[in-house]
Amino acid sequence: MYTEDTIAAISTALGTGGIGIVRISGDKAFDIADRIFKGRTGFKSLKSHTINYGKIVDPESGEVLDEVLVAKMNKPRTYTREDVVEINCHGGPVVVRRVLELVLRGGARLAEPGEFTKRAFLNGRIDLSQAEAVVDLINAKTDEGTRAAIGQLEGRLSAKIREARNSLIDLIAHIEVTVDYPEHDIEEITGRMVYNQIRAIRQRLADIAKDFDRGRIIREGISVVIVGRPNVGKSSLLNELAGKNRAIVTDIPGTTRDIIEEYINIKGIPVRIIDTAGIRETEDKVEKIGVERAEKAIENADLVIMMVDASCGLTEEDIRIFMRIRKKKHIIMINKIDIAETEAVDHIRDQLDDENIITTSVKNGTGLDRLEDMIEELFVEGSVGSGDGVIITNIRHKDLIDKAIFSIDQAIGSYDGGMPLDCLTIDIRDAAEYLGQITGETVSDDVIEKIFSSFCVGK
């Protein structure tokens, strides 16, 4: 068990809100709460896992800081498997901070980022991949991202990884007994048996890893940049997709002079969509900076949506923009088809000769469903939803699974090369080591510190 000092932190977001929570965890948690909480019953007499009304009082001055609800939770049935107290204050930043200061003065230490979850891991309540799922759940931007994080938090990934690792360890043990103690009455394991088993384990790991690209999109989303000449409808598209007037829309060229961003959900994909300044030759110094930023955004984008004004036809500026973005993943939107001739639209399509062209009228909402479908088609094969299966969203997990698969491939190569069984155990042991790093069974302290340093304080 992890039995160091008592920690405390504000566990709710900073700022004004209905409730602010100060969390305390450790052996001194109940003593601290007993000194500052005044209710109908003394704190130490309260039953575990109950919520009780009272006041937080400074024991030195007698000043009442706030009326609160206090939750008392005896170890080990807590988040950290330590004694835990949660003080539910009114959500003003001043009162929550004052309560925390009183707790710290009473003998607690301010928690480090992620230290509550770190203690849950070190005390065996969750494994490392489940701990990482806590951050994914907090940061999830869509329902699909939330479901993927919940599945990992419930241990679905851990169970599959642990099953594969245990199979490898059992195989190592069987090989070593066969090689080192041939006189014992135990079923002899043959090279063919080892080969068949590690091939099966490899396939299980490959099945887990195959959906990583889909999982990464669920977790991190994609960056989409809208580009085009001034006044082709870029800001109108952003407003339509975001569902509100985020950008200024006028018929005056050069209205958008800076990068405007919005986070939206398209078909379950978190999308950071960026409206840029119209790309054109200009002498306006401010607009020129906007154009330069637009060109920079194109370089960093996962997807570029280029808009063309169908009512004006294809211009030299449109051609220059198209040549700039055609080697990136892109969609061409021929906009304003509601005021353009059909022949003009067809002519633009023929001139560009690109497979990712759609025709739209942002003003009327025409073609936007097809835009969303195309975004999904370009980045995801099949449905984004995670369903009931296991989907990995973390690059650390993917890297370790890939390393485990590589080690198994090395063992298979050794078998094909006629190497003795005990030589195969080196690579099989490496594979088990990599899988153990996912769940935290073989991970180093440095990795643990790095993972939990990305957490917010109070979680």
H/E stretch holding 401 reads helix 395-416
Q: Name the band, by pLDDT with cuts 50, 70 and 90, for residue 252.
A: very low
Token duo for residue 206:
């490959």
Q: How many CB atoms lie within 10 A of CB 223?
A: 16
Instruction: Find the mean pLDDT for residues 162-184.
Output: 80
Helix (H, G, I), strand (E, B) or coil at 311: coil
Q: How far apart are the first and last CA of the chain?
A: 19
Which CATH number is 72's domain given?
3.30.1360.120
| Angle of CA points 339, 345, 351, to nearest 5° | 150
pLDDT digits (tens, 9 = 90+) for 361-370: 998 989 999 9
Residues 119, 25: one domain?
Answer: yes
Number of domains in the chain: 3
Instruction: Find the mean pLDDT for residues 253-257.
Output: 40
Q: Name the band, by pLDDT with cuts 50, 70 and 90, for residue 284.
A: low
Residues 79, 177: one domain?
Answer: no
> What is the C-alpha to C-alpha distance for residues 44 and 301, in angstroms, rounded to an integer?
57
Q: Name the band, by pLDDT with cuts 50, 70 and 90, for residue 444.
A: confident
Q: Name the band, by pLDDT with cuts 50, 70 and 90, for residue 248.
A: very low
Q: Name the band, by pLDDT with cuts 50, 70 and 90, for residue 388.
A: low
> What is the C-alpha to C-alpha distance for residues 254 and 58, in angstroms, rounded to an integer?
59
- CB 298 within 8 Å of CB 324: yes
H/E stretch holding 416 reads helix 395-416
Q: What is the pLDDT of residue 288?
A: 55
Give percent above pLDDT 90 in the chain: 46
What DSSP line would sit under 335-352, residue for residue?
A: E-GGGS-HHHHHHHHHHH
**DSSP strand pairing (222-228 vs 84-91):** unpaired
Would residue 340 count as lying in a domain? Answer: yes
Domain range for 95: 7-127
Residues 317, 290: one domain?
Answer: yes
Residues 292, 397: one domain?
Answer: no
Would residue 449 count as lying in a domain? Answer: no
Which CATH number is 156's domain given?
1.20.120.430
Would residue 184 count as lying in a domain? Answer: yes
What single letter denotes the amino acid at residue 25?
S
Would residue 454 count as lying in a domain? Answer: no
Say if residue 76 is preceded by a cis peptide, omega within 30 of 0.
yes
Would residue 408 count as lying in a domain? Answer: yes
Show the beta-strand stretches assigned E in 260-403.
260-266, 269-275, 303-309, 330-335, 357-359
Which CATH number is 230's domain given?
3.40.50.300
> Is residue 179 over pLDDT 70?
no
What single letter denotes the amino acid at residue 427?
D
- CB 270 within 8 Å of CB 220: yes
